[in-house]
């Protein structure tokens, strides 16, 4: 298990978005999920995702791909507690129960261990409250990368805009945890 980063926020702290246009957590992404995560005990976070009309797959039920996105965000937020910039290498989801429109999925995500650049994480999403029945479980392997991963691979205009916007830089938790 990795150590918690010395600058990691205290339990109860709301983590901001890592990028305002992120479809999972950004406020500026049209139709995005806008989930936010809160630091939990140890190397864990909690994340709530409320399923709306816009998230349907079958009538009245959440689309599995959107649920996977909510888990990708929750699991990825764990990386900030260990001060790692990382991208999703593998994401596996088990859908245990249908998740109806209007319900809130209470996700708890944690770090399970680290090996080289690989960060192993897992999460469970419960309905009806943080202690409710498990509806979705997920595991992910994140791969640690340098900032150059984004600088060399991202569309230039977006990278430049992000790098020149002080608000954006402040919002990028990577820069808070890894000054």
Of the candidates 141, 142, 103, 139, which has an alpha carbon nearest to the alpha carbon of residue 124? 139
Query: Using CB under 6 A, which of the segments 29-37, 38-46, 114-122, 128-136 binds ligand MYA?
Result: 114-122
Whole-number minimum distance, CB 97 to ligand MYA, in Å?
Answer: 25
Report yes or no: 131 and 75 within 8 Å, Cβ to Cβ: no
Asked if 109 is part of the footprint of ligand MYA (rule: CB under 6 A), the reply reads no
Exactly one of 10, 14, 30, 116 binds ligand MYA (CB under 6 A); that residue is: 116
* E strand or H helix at 76: helix 64-77
Whole-number minimum distance, CB 40 to ligand MYA, in Å?
Answer: 19
Measured from the CB atom, the residue of 67 and 162 that comes closer to ligand MYA is: 162
Site track 25-44 with ligand MYA (rule: CB under 6 A), x = hit: --------------------
Closest residue by beta carbon to ligand MYA: 89
Exactly one of 87, 128, 158, 161 binds ligand MYA (CB under 6 A); that residue is: 87
Report yes or no: 81 and 8 within 8 Å, Cβ to Cβ: yes
128/105 Cα distance (integer angstroms): 8
Of the candidates 61, 69, 86, 122, which has an alpha carbon nearest to the alpha carbon of residue 5? 86
Measured from the CB atom, the residue of 46 and 79 that comes closer to ligand MYA is: 79
Contacts (Cβ under 8 Å, ≥6 apart) of 131: none
Quickly count helices (H) and strands (E) in the chain.
Answer: 5, 7
Task: State the number of binding residues for ligand MYA (CB under 6 A).
Answer: 20
Exactly one of 15, 43, 66, 162 binds ligand MYA (CB under 6 A); that residue is: 162
Give the neighbor-by-neighbor strand order of the sheet with 37-39: 14-15, 37-39, 44-50, 104-115, 118-127, 133-144, 86-95
Contact footprint for ligand MYA (CB under 6 A): 18-19, 72, 76, 85, 87-90, 116-118, 141, 143, 145, 147, 150, 162, 172, 174
């Amino acid at each position: 298990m990795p150590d918690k980063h010395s600058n990691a926020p205290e339990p109860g702290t709301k983590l901001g978005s890592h990028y305002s246009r992120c479809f999972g957590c950004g406020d500026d992404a049209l139709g995005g999920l806008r989930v936010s995560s809160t630091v939990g005990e140890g190397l864990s976070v909690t994340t709530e995702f409320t399923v709306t009309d816009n998230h349907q797959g079958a009538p009245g039920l959440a689309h599995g791909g959107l649920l996977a996105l909510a888990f990708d965000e929750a699991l990825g937020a764990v990386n900030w507690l260990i001060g790692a910039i990382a991208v999703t290498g593998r994401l596996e989801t088990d859908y245990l129960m249908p998740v109806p429109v209007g319900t809130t999925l209470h996700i708890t995500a944690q770090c399970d261990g680290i090996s080289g650049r690989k960060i192993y994480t897992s999460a469970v999403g419960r309905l009806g409250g943080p202690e409710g029945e498990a509806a979705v479980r997920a595991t992910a392997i994140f791969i640690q990368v340098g900032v150059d991963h984004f600088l060399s691979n991202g569309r230039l205009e977006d990278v430049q805009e992000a790098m020149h916007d002080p608000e954006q830089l402040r919002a990028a938790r990577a820069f808070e945890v890894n000054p």
